[in-house]
Structure 1
């Protein structure tokens, strides 16, 4: 069944929206157990850690994302509408969820509740869920979904003041009437790649790795790198890469080798996708 990913900044009203969605999807003679709500709240309860502790520790935050992804994977193949209520602010994590949806041969959509920093701080004064420092840090880290990215599409965006005007019927239609995502090519037998294709790929990723390393040496955590790749005389691809962690050259080389192994078992109809997918590998390594 479909996956609805709720995405948004801290203290923006995501949980209220999630509960409204559950009510909407169960109102018309639909069994309550046909809608499965997954929330980051369960991680705080089970771990005994508060939000400031989790978001202040990369290890704990990664553990929470892993638990959320595992739960989505477990129930998505069942006959349920799955709603994921969390910040989901990392582009790489949303891409991982997209891959889970593809493997399940179902549909998804992203619902972005965009809350400005001043409103997050104001709402937090009442709830006291976060420290001011944590809220500001989360806003700086936030990677907003883009409708042009296939893992963020279809995308519905709203704000705290307009959330009650959101057309839930249109959201539902995008999930139930949309075309199921095809499974990953890794589940199929790919054609053998030509030697010259692998050679070109090796050269391309070497150049990308060198560019990333060159810019990362002088970058600070939170900076955004702009890396360009010339695929032909008339086609130059530029990609942005946010520095969530400084990587060394040996680490980048290991990521590159992992990507080359991945490429050997996949096929790319459009080779302009290669830099984007490679940057996804690098971005995921910095989570």
Structure 2
């Protein structure tokens, strides 16, 4: 699902904007999933202000929220991540997950003056004790106010998103009384190309239990064939087992250099080769050696 990451100070109308976005995209015929911090905290059994005062509790719920977002990501529908998302590194982790899912993402920054956010916060009248789970409805602490110490701490720790950071881009900024740029957000998510995954966001290919052992054994045999040929004075291209490709060994190469190249090849194939390509490994290793010898 394309992803909207909502970020902002406490009491900056994040949940209100999330609901507006959900309504808009549902009217567009999209399936919308909202992942909300306001629901995750009471679901985990934590009181709102105690949760934000305890880094371990906060870390646990942040991890759960990220896992839920990643689970829902695909290329068709929409995920709205309603949370403070105040840590820059955390937003980057979400961005990497979006790239790995080959889908699109944008960030909505709910901008607000700290004084106005505190005024909104004081207007809330809910308590954790009044949260009830009637008819199996999810608990929601949106109307529970922050303590002043917690509020100030969250504002102090907040790392504002910036449009020039790729993990916050495209960035949409909205103040409490602003009308959201619904069309711009829609175009960013459904009319633009998905993020292109790179090696850092890709899972390594799966390999069988004995794959690396067999690969190590094959490359050792090839190096042994080469060193044996050199010992008996064979010059020019050398034939090795399991492949028709010959190794063109320069006169200056020695066993230490061959083994160093073999280790480089093994490290590379751990990341780029799966078990089904084991039969091609000898040929690839010989080609790897030839390409390095010709440099």
TM-score normalised by structure 1 residue count: 0.62
Q: What is the aligned partner in structure 1 of residue 14 from structure 2?
A: 14
The answer to whether structure 1 residue 139 and structure 2 residue 155 are counterparts is yes
Aligned 1:79-228 pairs, distance under 5 A: 79-128=76-125, 129-162=145-178, 164=179, 166-186=180-200, 187=202
Structure with greater proportional strand content: 1
Q: Using the TM superposition, give the Cα deviation of residue 50 of structure 1 relative to its aligned residue in structure 2, in angstroms.
A: 2.1
Residue 172 to residue 136, structure 1, CA distance change in 2 (3 Å): same
**Cα distance in structure 2, aligned partners of 1:184 and 1:59:** 31
Q: Report if aligned partners of 1:99, 1:184 keep a CA contact under 8 Å in 2.
A: no
Q: 1:78 to 1:150 in 2, by over 3 A?
A: closer
Quote the offset at 1:189 in angstroms: 7.8
How far 1:77 sits from its partner (Å)?
2.5
Partner of 1:58: 55
The gaps in structure 2 that reach 5 residues or longer are 126-144, 206-266, 273-295
- Which stretches in structure 1 are left out of the alignment for 5+ residues? 191-260, 267-287
Q: Deviations over 1:153-206 (max 9, x none)?
A: 0000121132x2x2211111111112211123143889xxxxxxxxxxxxxxxx
Q: How far does the alpha carbon of each residue in 1:29-88 deviate from its partner, in whole angstroms, 9 at most, with x for none?
A: x16xx1111100222221221221111111111111101110011111374211100000
Q: Residue 38 of structure 1 aligns to a residue in which SS?
A: strand
- 1:26 counterpart = 2:40: no
Structure 1 residues 82 and 117: alpha-carbon distance in aligned structure 2, compared to 1, 3 A threshold = same
Cross-structure match for 1:72: 69
Higher alpha-carbon Rg = 2
Distance in 1 between the 2:69 and 2:203 partners?
A: 23
Question: Are 1:120 and 1:135, in contact at CA under 8 Å, matched by a contact in 2?
Answer: no
Say if 1:43 and 1:188 are closer, same or farther in 2 by CA, change over 3 A: closer
* Cα distance in 1 between the residues matched to 2:271 and 2:87: 26
CA distance, structure 1, for counterparts of residue 17 and residue 190 of structure 2:
19
Q: Is the 8 A contact 2:44 2:61 kept in 1?
A: no
Contact 1:91 1:143 in 2 (8 A): yes
Kindly provide the CA deviation profile for residues 122-142 of structure 1, in whole angstroms up to 9, marking residues without a partner as x: 011111521011111111000
Moved over 4 A (4+): none
Give yes or no for contact 1:12–1:113 (8 Å, CA) kept in 2: yes
How many equivalent residue pairs? 189
